[in-house]
Amino acid sequence: MSIVLQAVTKRFTSAGTPAVADVSFEAPRGAITAVLGPSGAGKSTVLRIVAGLEVPDSGKVLIDGEDCARVPVQKRGVGLVFQHYALFRHMTVRENVAFGLSVRHVSRKEIAARVLELLQLVQLEHLADRYPAQLSGGQRQRIAFARALAVRPRVLLLDEPFGALDASVRRELRDWLEQLHAGMGVTTLLVTHDQEEALELAEHVVLMFDGRIAQSGPPGEVYDHPASPMVASFLGGANLLTAPVFSGRADFGAVEVPAPDSARDGELLQVFVRPHDLKLRRVRGKHPGLAVARIERVKRIGGYVRISLALPGGESLTVESPRSEIDELGVAAGEPVLVDLRAARPFTEPAPH
């Protein structure tokens, strides 16, 4: 089943700014699509519209080709998993998983078989008679997945499903979800603000800001070819630099970057470079093609080091390198250093004046 949104707009007040505006994208059949963006971007509103919990003011919501924009939630065939589990505290694990089947008047024999199948799938059959309060956060979320899958949904909708869990459990459940999805192949829409989660799990990424889609595509394409400075900054924390174009090139501190054919002399060209693509060297002798910078801060974070640099023109750069490389380099705050900017890449359009 594919999910297609066509020009979907939703306002919560008649005169207010739309929560989502003219949103169009396709979540490919059988894949995990991540709707990614900062808080307030409109991600959860999109998911609630797909689920049927909100009705769009305009636009279409196609599930397997059928426009479901005004179809009641119970008739859409969707499974929902929320951040805070939403399990019934007074019901056992078995009863929670069976709930959706019970209200559909499925036979007891079928319910028992389906519940056992799902508890085995999420590897928690030994906890069937416990209550949610007796489970860990990760176990509760697995039960929430089992309950969502019990009714054999056409699509699975996940709203920040790991947001309430600590970092180690999130990583564990991401691995588990990836394996679960590989075995089931149900079309899945994952709402998250966690770019690592989106890049690791999704086969398609939809990046949103301020209720609109900024870019969508395979995660590698969105990461390597960001459509705008906003996308580059959010996805991977890219460094952004700006310089005027002359004779088809822009000079970034001893490094010249070719400008797009559309750029005219005097226009500003903005380039991006990821922190992990920057290489540092000690200042020794001549240094053609390398920019001189001053180290402002050095932060050691586990196995890597984050370094803040200041270029002569006042621009700031962030560098992330393996700890072993920085230890071998032997540099400290306040010292000059050479930085290789040759990995800098321009955006398609010139920056505004």
SS (HEC) of the chain? CCEEEEEEEECCCCCCCCCEEEEEEEECCCCEEEEECCCCCCHHHHHHHHHCCCCCCEEEEEECCEECCCCCHHHCCEEEECCCCCCCCCCCHHHHHHHHHHCCCCCHHHHHHHHHHHHHHCCCHHHCCCCHHHCCHHHHHHHHHHHHHCCCCCEEEEECCCCCCCHHHHHHHHHHHHHHHHHHCCEEEEEECCHHHHHHHCCEEEEEECCEEEEEECHHHHHHCCCCHHHHHHCCCCEEEEEEEECCEEECCCCEEECCCCCCCCCEEEEEECHHHCEEECCCCCCCCCEEEEEEEEEEECCEEEEEEECCCCCEEEEEEEHHHHHHHCCCCCCEEEEECCCCEECCCCECC
C-alpha dihedral (260, 263, 267, 271), degrees to nearest 10 = -10
The CA angle 150-152-155, to the nearest 5 degrees, is: 115
Given this model, what pLDDT does residue 253 score?
A: 66
From 161, 196, 230, give the residue that closes a domain.
230
Looking at the structure, do residues 199 and 260 belong to the same domain, yes or no? no
Given this model, what pLDDT does residue 125 score?
A: 93
Quick check: is 295 in a domain? Answer: yes
Quick check: is 45 in a domain? Answer: yes
CA 93 from centroid of its chain's CA atoms: 30
Quick check: is 353 in a domain? Answer: no
Q: What is the CATH number of the domain that holds 221?
A: 3.40.50.300
Looking at the structure, do residues 203 and 142 belong to the same domain, yes or no? yes
Quick check: is 169 in a domain? Answer: yes
Looking at the structure, do residues 251 and 182 belong to the same domain, yes or no? no
The domain total for the chain is: 2
Looking at the structure, do residues 321 and 259 belong to the same domain, yes or no? yes
Query: Alpha-carbon distance 1 to 36, whole Å?
Result: 21
Given this model, what pLDDT does residue 348 score?
A: 55
Looking at the structure, do residues 221 and 288 belong to the same domain, yes or no? no
Given this model, what pLDDT does residue 254 score?
A: 65
Q: What is the CATH number of the domain that holds 329?
A: 2.40.50.100
Looking at the structure, do residues 96 and 202 belong to the same domain, yes or no? yes
- Structure tokens, 19: 């929560």
Looking at the structure, do residues 190 and 250 belong to the same domain, yes or no? no
Query: Alpha-carbon distance 167 to 182, whole Å?
Result: 23
Given this model, what pLDDT does residue 38 score?
A: 94
CA Rg value for the chain: 25
Looking at the structure, do residues 310 and 175 belong to the same domain, yes or no? no
From 180, 196, 230, give the residue that closes a domain.
230
Quick check: is 253 in a domain? Answer: yes
Per-residue pLDDT of the chain (353 residues; tens, 9 = 90+): 789 999 999 999 988 899 999 999 999 999 999 999 999 999 999 999 999 999 999 999 999 999 999 999 888 989 999 888 788 999 999 999 999 899 888 899 999 999 999 999 999 999 999 999 999 999 999 999 999 999 899 899 999 988 878 888 888 889 989 988 988 889 999 999 999 999 999 999 999 999 999 999 999 999 999 999 999 999 989 999 988 888 888 887 667 788 877 788 888 888 999 999 999 999 887 777 788 899 999 999 999 999 999 988 888 999 999 999 999 999 899 999 999 888 888 875 544 44
Looking at the structure, do residues 8 and 68 belong to the same domain, yes or no? yes
Note whether 259 and 269 are within 8 A (CB).
Answer: yes
Looking at the structure, do residues 245 and 276 belong to the same domain, yes or no? yes
Query: Alpha-carbon distance 155 to 138, whole Å?
Result: 22
Quick check: is 352 in a domain? Answer: no
Looking at the structure, do residues 274 and 167 belong to the same domain, yes or no? no
Quick check: is 202 in a domain? Answer: yes
Query: Alpha-carbon distance 298 to 8, whole Å?
Result: 46
The pTM assigned to this predicted structure is 0.88
Quick check: is 351 in a domain? Answer: no
Note whether 270 and 226 are within 8 A (CB).
Answer: no
From 183, 203, 230, give the residue that closes a domain.
230
Given this model, what pLDDT does residue 269 score?
A: 87
Query: Alpha-carbon distance 176 to 254, whole Å?
Result: 48
Query: Alpha-carbon distance 226 to 308, whole Å?
Result: 23
- 310 lies in which domain range? 237-346
Given this model, what pLDDT does residue 350 score?
A: 46
Looking at the structure, do residues 338 and 199 belong to the same domain, yes or no? no
